[in-house]
Amino acid sequence: MTIHQAIASPGCGCDSQDMLHALISIDEALARIAGNVAPVGRTEALSLDHASGRILAQPVRSRSMAPAFDNAAMDGYAIATSALTGAGPWVLPVVARVPAGQAVTTPVAGAMAARIFTGAPIPEGADAVVMQEEVQRDGDVIHLSRRPEPGLNIRRAGSDMASGATVLDKGQRLGPREIAACAAAGAGILRVRRRLRVALLVTGDEVRRAGGAREAAQIWDVNTPMLTASLAAADVDIVASDHGADNLAGLVRQLGDMAAQADLVITTGGISVGEEDHVKPAVMALGGETLFSGVAIKPGKPVSVGRIGKAQWLGLPGNPVSAFVTWQVFGLALIRALSGEGPIPTRRHVVTASPICRKPGRCELRPVTLAGFDAQGREIVRFEDATHSARVGLLSLADGLMFLPADAQSLPAGALVEFQPFCQS
């Protein structure tokens, strides 16, 4: 049996019992967001052609039955099955031609047939559509050798949607499938939430624009383009994006200006307790409030959520991986709460490809890659031996986050863990 030795605590003391007792759990943090952040109040009416990606503010109800009338499910011949007497085969005269989009004027009475095309209304008297491949056409008659069942190849009126039925509830994001459902329901105008206004402030004197000139002690800015891409959704407007001043007075001015025009202000860096961490003091100087500050997770322990005036505030760590991880867990939850979309979809279970040995104390969110299925059909994830909050290079290979329980010091290969896939807002 392999025995895993305890990992020594680092000198910073961030995992000391006193520090951990001051932190809240991931689920508690998400519960506080859900219980305290309300959707933006204003809505707008948009045509169906311009509503893709937006969040419904009102339910969509069908304006009529769908389909609105009995119609043919395929090209063929509409017949009355009760008129087929004896053992067959049967010879039926073709008395009408019914294309889609035209009203039916000739009924099918007795032993006769109507040529019909997909989507066309079923003639009066007919109760089945025989596909054209099942008959032999000879001039103005068809030869039918097999008796069809009543209702064959007929789409019944209202079989998809009943008149007045709720097709989509409020809070749903409108993608191609939802747009299709709205169109089928006859909903040409939709009531949606207005776009969220988001402001982004990235701190750090050492940060420079990616690809630009930088000195020996400077780094390229990862967080601005990363979060800008994360916010690239149809229902989000980035109303401001700036590099934060590295002093309290400057941050107070910048955050105040951003809060005045945004629903959500996002900051990165400056939220720990060091001498150069000015973001939380700036929030407090503006009369801001914190919903929580510090979560028992690794990476991203200092993550904070609160308010500055009427705007929500999300304080992310400065290290890019920490910022990305906490954005995926808490940032998306905030966006969804503000848009009225509802909570992040439920995590699912996966199994580990290799053993894990780690320091317990905080829930660890480790980027993982999906690697197929085991013999029992369970998804397998592969991962690095540790989580590094500043190593961005491997993020592009990861599919989501594995949640390692706070009290777990070692897990065998094949252990069952929670998994949250990466997603856009």
Give the CATH number of the domain where residue 170 resides: 3.90.105.10
CB 65 within 8 A of CB 111: no
Q: Does one domain contain both 150 and 281?
A: no
Q: Does one domain contain both 61 and 116?
A: no
* 176-226: pLDDT as tens digits: 999 999 999 999 999 999 999 999 999 887 777 777 777 777 677 889 999
The residue behind tokens 């000139």 is 213
CB 300 within 8 A of CB 365: yes
Cα–Cα distances in Å, from 232 out to 237, 317, 424? 8, 21, 8
The answer to which of 114-118, 126-130, 233-237 has the lowest mean pLDDT is: 233-237
Write down which residue in 102, 128, 155 finishes a domain: 155
Q: Does one domain contain both 273 and 199?
A: yes
Q: Does one domain contain both 62 and 174?
A: yes
The structure's pTM equals: 0.85
Q: Does one domain contain both 331 and 214?
A: yes
CB 113 within 8 A of CB 92: yes
Strands 135-138, 363-373: pairing is: unpaired
In a domain, 7, yes or no: no
Cis before 67? omega within 30: yes
Which tokens in the block code for residue 52? Answer: 């893709």
Q: Does one domain contain both 176 and 248?
A: no
pLDDT of residue 287: 97
pLDDT at 82 over 50: yes
In a domain, 393, yes or no: yes
pLDDT of residue 161: 97
pLDDT of residue 35: 95
Three-state SS at 142: strand
- State which residues form the domain around 108: 71-155
Q: Does one domain contain both 384 and 321?
A: no
Give the CATH number of the domain where residue 237 resides: 3.40.980.10
In a domain, 236, yes or no: yes
Which tokens in the block code for residue 51? Answer: 């509503």
State the amino acid at position 109 in one-letter form: A
In a domain, 19, yes or no: no
How many domains in the chain?
A: 4
Q: Does one domain contain both 30 and 102?
A: no
Q: Does one domain contain both 302 and 396?
A: no
CB 158 within 8 A of CB 64: no
pLDDT at 387 over 90: no
Residue range 254-279: average pLDDT? 89
Nearest to 171 by CA among 46, 305, 342, 334: 342
pLDDT of residue 375: 95
Q: Does one domain contain both 234 and 252?
A: yes
In a domain, 32, yes or no: yes
Write down which residue in 100, 125, 155 finishes a domain: 155
Residue range 73-92: average pLDDT? 94
Residue range 280-284: average pLDDT? 94
pLDDT of residue 236: 96
CB 320 within 8 A of CB 332: no
Band the pLDDT of 20: cuts 50, 70, 90.
low
pLDDT of residue 343: 78
pLDDT of residue 389: 66
Cα–Cα distances in Å, from 412 out to 4, 78, 367? 11, 64, 18
In a domain, 306, yes or no: yes
Write down which residue in 285, 319, 339 finishes a domain: 339
Residue range 238-254: average pLDDT? 93
Can you say how many angstroms the Cα of residue 328 is from the centroid of all Cα atoms in its chain?
A: 11
pLDDT of residue 10: 37
pLDDT of residue 346: 82
Q: Does one domain contain both 333 and 319?
A: yes
In a domain, 11, yes or no: no
CB 385 within 8 A of CB 374: no
Q: What pairs with residue 199 in β-bridges?
A: 240, 265
Percent of the chain predicted with pLDDT > 70: 92
Count of Cβ atoms closer than 10 Å to residue 22 Cβ = 11
Distance CA 241, CA 197 (A): 12
In a domain, 8, yes or no: no
Long-range contacts of the stretch 205-211 (C-beta < 8 A, 24+): 205/246, 207/243
Local structure of residue 81 (DSSP, 8 states): G
In angstroms, how far is the first alpha carbon of the chain from the final one? 45
Q: Does one domain contain both 253 and 201?
A: yes
Average pLDDT, the chain: 91
